[in-house]
Chain A
Amino acid sequence: MKRKSSDRKNKQATFNKLSLFHGNRYKFKRRCPLSVKGAPIVDYKNINLLKKYMSENGKMLPSRITNVSQKKQRQLSLSIKRARNLALL
Chain B
Amino acid sequence: MNNYEHTIIVRQDISPTQMNQIIDKYTNLIEKNGGKLIQTQKWGLLNLSYIIKKNRKGNYIHFKIEGSGELIRELEKNEKIDKSLLKYLSVKVQKHDLETNYFEKKDKQIERERTK
Tell which of A11-19, A26-34, A38-46, A63-71 binds the partner: A38-46
Interface size class of A (residues with CB under 8 A): 10 to 19
The tally of CB-CB contacts under 8 A between chains A and B is: 31
Closest to B60 in A: A86
**Between-chain CB contacts (< 8 Å), 17 pairs:** A43-B102, A44-B91, A45-B62, A45-B103, A47-B102, A58-B49, A82-B89, A82-B91, A84-B49, A86-B7, A86-B60, A87-B9, A87-B49, A87-B50, A87-B52, A88-B49, A89-B49
How many residues on the B side are at the interface (Cβ–Cβ under 8 A)? 17
Cβ of A85 < 8 Å from any Cβ of B?
yes
Closest to B86 in A: A87
A-binding residues in B (CB < 8 A): 7, 9, 46, 48-50, 52, 58, 60, 62, 87, 89, 91, 97, 100, 102-103
